[in-house]
C-alpha cells in the first residue's frame, strides 16, 4: 500500500498578546537604561559605501543602484539629414529643450556628456556616437539618458531592443524625453518599443511583471514584499521604518553577538523569550517570529541592516536614497560574518572554522589580455597541498577561446612562440608591477594636485546635495512625527480610555520614529559640516599618494587593497604571465616617472 503523502501545513504566525507586549516593553526598557540613545550607533571604521562596493564585487552581474545625485547623465541629439527644413527640431533646439528638461528635473549634465549626431536611425550600426553612448551604459560610465523624443534614439527593432534591455538591467537607471512621458513599467517599456519600431511586440508574463515591479521598488529602496525583522513599511511611502520594540530587540541581539560573544542559539532563545514579533505595516497586528539558530544567522548575514539593500541583481545603498535608520554598523556586520571578516582582515567573533571561500574580486574587470584585448575573468583557486593548504589564490583567466593566442593548440603555440602561453596570471605577479608604479608617482605634483582638487570639489557637490536632501526629508519627518506624538500624548493624558481602546502602543511607536528621524537629522548636519573641512594641500596630497604604496604592500585587507587599485589603476594589460602596460586614472597618469618603471612597454603606459 502506497504511503500517504504528508500534508504540508501552511505556516501561521501567532499574534502577540498584550501580556507578551508588556514583557517585551520591560525588556527593552531595561536595556535602554544602559544605552538610552540606541539610535546613535558606534563609529564605524568601514563605511556603508565600502560594504556596498563589496557586495557589488562579490555577486556576479549585479548592478549598483545610484541616487540621482550620483548618476552621470547623457543628452543625445540626432537629426537624420542635413536638410534643416525636414527636421522637426534642429540640433540646437533639441539640446536647448533637453537642458531645460534637465533643469526642471534638477539633473546635472556635464558639457562633455552632450552628444550630437547626424545619422539615420532606420538601420542599426550606422551611428558611432550612439554606439559610444550605449557602450558607456554597458560599462556603467553613464547612468541616465535625456533626449528630445524616442525616435531620436531609434527607429529600428535591434537598437530599440538594446535600449529597453539596458533599462531592464538597470544599466540605464533614468530615462527622460522632452516630448514623451516614459514610465519604467512593463507597459511603459512595451509602448516605448512600439514607438521605436511598430513591428516590435512585447509580452510580459505574470512572473516577469512581478519581478520587474519588485525591481522598481529596489531602485527606490522600498518594501518589495519581504518583511525585515525590526522594521515595517510605511504604507504611504513604502520606505522602511524602525519597528519600535522589535528594532531594539534586534539591535540588542547584534550587541550580544558582536560584543558579548553570545552564540546564535543563545540569541535565538533570548529573542523568543522576549517575544520578537514582525509586521508588514505599522497598523498590522504584530505576530510572533519564531527564531532559530539559522534564522538568527540569516538575519545577521543580511546587509540590509547596515543599509545595503540586495535583491536579485540589484544593490542599493538605502542611506543614500532616504533617511533610513540602520540597525548595525558596517564594522559590526563585518565581524559577525565570517566571509566579510576574512576579506576585511578583521577578527571574526564566532567560532574558528576552516577557511571560507573568497568571493571578493580584486581588480575585477581591470585586467586585459594583451593577446586579444579581452577582459580577463577573476577566479579563486583552492590550494590543496603545501603549507597554504585550505586557502585561496586569485587568478585572472582569458576565456576568449575563439580568437586568443593563449588557447592555441600546444604544437601551434610552440611553433609560433617557442613555448606554451599561460592561460592565466596570478594576482601575486600583478601586484608588484602596480607597486612599482606607485613607487614612482613623483612628477608633476602641482598639476596633479590641481586636478585632484577639481575632482574632490565635484564629489563634494554631489555629497552635499545628498546630505541636504536627507536633512530636508528628516526635518520634514521630525515635524510630522512631532504632530503625531503630540496627538497621541494628548489622547493618552486626557482621554485614556479611548487611547487604550483604539490607539494603545501608538505613543511608543511615534516616539521611536521621532527619535530615529532626529538621529538622522543630526547625522545629516554632521555630514554637511564635514564637507566644509579644508581640502588637502599639495603636501598632503603627495603624502596621500605615498600612503597608497604602504597600504598596497602591507595590508591584509583585500577591500582596502582593492580600494587603492581602483583609485589609481584604470586598467592593465597582461602578456604571458606578466604585466606589460598599466594605465592610470587621472590625475595619477600625470605623475608617473616612466624612466624609472622597470616593466612593460613604457611608451604605452
Domain ranges of the chain: 14-41+52-63+221-353, 64-218, 359-476+531-605
So what's the pLDDT on residue 123? 67
So what's the pLDDT on residue 5? 54
Any residues with CB less than 8 A from the CB of 213 and at least 6 apart, and which? 185
Please give the residue that has the higher pLDDT: either 502 or 11.
502
88, pLDDT greater than 90: no
For residue range 167-204, list pLDDT tens digits in order.
Answer: 888 889 999 998 888 877 777 777 777 776 543 333 33
For residue range 540-567, list pLDDT tens digits in order.
Answer: 999 999 999 999 999 888 888 888 999 9
148, pLDDT greater than 50: yes
Beta-sheet strands, E only, within 367-430 = 367-369, 377-382, 392-397, 424-426
290, pLDDT greater than 50: yes
Interval 504-523 mean pLDDT: 86
Lowest-confidence region among 23-27, 551-555, 583-587: 23-27
Contact 250, 299 (CB under 8 A): yes
Q: Alpha helices of 324-387 — where are they, by DSSP H?
A: 330-336, 338-343
578, pLDDT greater than 80: yes
So what's the pLDDT on residue 598? 61
Q: What's 592's DSSP letter?
A: B
| Cis before 441? omega within 30 | no
147, pLDDT greater than 70: yes
Interval 556-584 mean pLDDT: 88
CATH topology of domain 14-41+52-63+221-353: Hect, E3 ligase catalytic domain fold (3.90.1750)
So what's the pLDDT on residue 268? 94
Share of the chain above pLDDT 90, in %: 38
Q: Which three cell numbers stand for residue 477?
A: 519627518
509, pLDDT greater than 90: no
227, pLDDT greater than 90: no
102, pLDDT greater than 90: yes
In angstroms, the CA 360 to CA 355 distance is 14
In angstroms, the CA 89 to CA 75 distance is 15
For residue range 367-407, list pLDDT tens digits in order.
Answer: 999 999 998 988 777 777 777 776 678 889 998 888 999 99
Q: Which three cell numbers stand for residue 174?
A: 533614468
In angstroms, the CA 86 to CA 94 distance is 14
109, pLDDT greater than 90: yes
Any residues with CB less than 8 A from the CB of 59 and at least 6 apart, and which? 310, 313, 315
For residue range 234-281, list pLDDT tens digits in order.
Answer: 888 889 999 888 999 999 999 999 988 889 999 999 999 999 999 988
Share of the chain above pLDDT 70, in %: 86
So what's the pLDDT on residue 329? 92
205, pLDDT greater than 60: no
Strands 174-177 and 231-233: unpaired
Q: Name which of 63, 57, 42, 66 is nearest 559 in CA terms.
A: 57
Please give the residue that has the higher pLDDT: either 211 or 575.
575
Residue with cell 539559522: 294
For residue range 466-495, list pLDDT tens digits in order.
Answer: 899 989 999 999 999 999 999 999 999 999
So what's the pLDDT on residue 605? 35
Residue 177: enclosing H or E segment and its boundaries? Answer: strand 174-177
Selected from 3.40.50.10300, 3.30.428.10, 3.40.50.10070, 3.40.50.1390, the CATH number assigned to the domain covering 64-218 reads 3.40.50.1390
Beta-sheet strands, E only, within 216-285 = 231-233, 240-242, 277-278
The torsion angle over the Cα atoms of residues 307, 482, 488 and 28, rounded to 10 degrees, is 40
Radius of gyration of the chain (CA): 28
In angstroms, the CA 491 to CA 494 distance is 5
In angstroms, the CA 301 to CA 597 distance is 44
Beta-sheet strands, E only, within 383-426 = 392-397, 424-426
So what's the pLDDT on residue 1? 45
Amino acid at each position: 500500500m502506497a504511503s500517504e503523502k504528508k500534508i504540508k501545513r501552511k505556516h501561521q504566525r501567532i499574534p502577540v498578546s498584550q501580556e507578551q507586549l508588556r514583557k517585551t516593553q520591560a525588556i527593552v526598557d531595561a536595556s535602554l537604561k544602559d544605552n538610552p540613545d540606541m539610535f546613535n550607533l558606534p563609529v564605524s571604521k568601514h563605511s556603508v559605501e565600502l560594504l556596498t562596493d563589496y557586495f557589488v564585487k562579490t555577486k556576479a552581474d549585479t548592478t549598483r543602484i545610484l541616487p540621482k545625485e550620483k548618476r552621470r547623465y547623457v543628452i543625445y541629439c540626432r537629426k537624420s539629414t542635413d536638410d534643416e527644413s525636414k527636421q522637426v527640431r534642429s540640433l540646437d533646439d533639441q539640446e536647448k529643450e533637453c537642458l531645460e528638461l534637465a533643469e526642471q528635473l534638477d539633473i546635472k549634465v556635464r558639457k562633455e556628456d552632450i552628444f550630437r549626431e547626424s545619422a539615420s536611425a532606420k538601420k542599426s550600426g550606422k551611428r558611432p556616437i550612439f554606439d559610444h553612448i550605449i557602450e558607456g551604459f554597458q560599462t556603467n560610465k553613464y547612468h541616465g539618458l535625456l533626449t528630445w523624443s524616442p525616435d531620436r534614439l531609434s527607429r529600428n527593432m535591434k537598437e530599440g531592443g538594446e535600449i529597453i534591455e539596458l533599462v531592464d538591467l538597470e544599466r540605464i537607471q533614468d530615462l527622460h524625453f522632452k516630448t514623451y512621458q516614459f514610465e519604467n513599467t512593463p507597459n511603459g517599456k512595451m509602448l516605448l518599443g512600439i514607438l521605436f519600431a511598430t513591428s516590435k511586440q512585447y509580452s510580459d508574463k505574470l512572473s516577469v511583471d512581478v519581478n520587474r515591479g519588485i525591481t522598481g521598488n529596489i531602485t527606490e529602496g522600498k518594501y518589495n514584499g519581504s518583511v525585515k525583522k525590526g522594521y515595517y513599511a510605511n504604507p504611504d511611502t513604502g520606505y522602511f521604518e524602525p519597528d519600535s520594540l522589535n528594532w531594539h530587540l534586534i539591535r540588542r541581539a547584534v550587541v550580544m553577538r558582536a560584543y558579548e560573544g553570545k552564540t546564535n542559539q543563545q540569541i535565538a532563545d533570548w529573542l523568543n523569550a522576549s517575544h520578537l514579533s514582525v509586521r508588514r505595516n505599522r497598523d498590522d497586528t504584530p505576530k510572533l517570529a519564531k527564531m532559530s539558530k539559522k534564522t538568527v544567522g540569516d538575519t545577521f548575514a543580511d546587509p540590509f541592516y547596515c543599509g545595503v539593500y540586495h535583491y536579485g541583481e540589484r544593490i542599493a545603498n538605502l542611506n543614500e536614497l532616504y533617511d533610513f535608520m540602520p540597525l548595525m554598523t558596517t564594522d559590526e556586520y563585518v565581524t559577525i560574518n565570517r566571509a566579510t571578516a576574512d576579506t576585511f582582515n578583521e577578527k571574526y567573533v564566532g567560532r574558528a572554522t576552516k577557511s571560507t571561500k573568497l568571493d571578493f574580486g580584486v581588480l575585477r574587470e581591470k585586467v586585459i589580455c594583451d593577446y586579444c584585448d579581452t577582459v580577463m575573468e577573476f577566479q579563486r583557486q583552492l590550494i590543496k597541498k603545501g603549507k597554504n593548504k585550505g586557502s585561496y589564490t586569485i587568478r585572472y583567466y582569458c576565456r576568449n577561446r575563439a580568437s586568443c593566442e593563449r588557447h592555441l593548440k600546444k604544437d601551434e603555440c610552440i611553433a609560433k612562440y617557442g613555448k606554451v602561453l599561460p592561460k592565466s596570471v596570478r594576482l601575486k605577479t600583478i601586484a608588484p608591477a602596480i607597486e612599482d608604479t606607485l613607487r614612482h608617482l613623483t612628477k608633476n605634483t602641482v598639476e596633479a594636485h590641481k586636478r585632484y582638487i577639481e575632482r574632490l570639489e565635484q564629489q563634494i557637490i554631489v555629497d552635499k546635495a545628498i546630505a541636504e536632501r536627507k536633512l530636508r526629508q528628516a526635518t520634514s519627518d521630525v515635524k510630522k512625527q512631532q504632530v503625531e506624538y503630540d496627538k497621541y500624548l494628548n489622547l493618552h493624558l486626557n482621554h485614556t480610555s479611548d487611547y487604550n481602546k483604539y490607539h494603545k502602543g501608538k505613543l511608543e511607536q511615534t516616539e521611536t520614529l521621532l527619535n530615529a528621524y532626529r538621529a538622522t537629522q543630526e547625522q545629516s548636519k554632521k555630514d554637511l559640516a564635514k564637507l566644509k573641512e579644508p581640502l588637502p594641500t599639495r603636501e598632503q596630497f603627495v603624502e596621500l599618494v605615498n600612503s597608497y604604496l604602504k597600504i598596497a604592500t602591507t595590508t591584509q585587507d583585500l577591500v582596502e587593497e582593492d580600494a587603492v587599485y581602483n583609485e589609481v589603476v584604470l586598467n592593465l594589460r597582461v602578456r604571458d604571465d606578466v604585466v606589460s602596460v598599466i594605465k592610470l586614472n587621472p590625475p595619477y597618469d600625470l605623475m608617473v616617472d616612466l624612466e624609472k618603471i622597470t616593466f612593460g612597454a613604457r611608451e604605452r603606459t
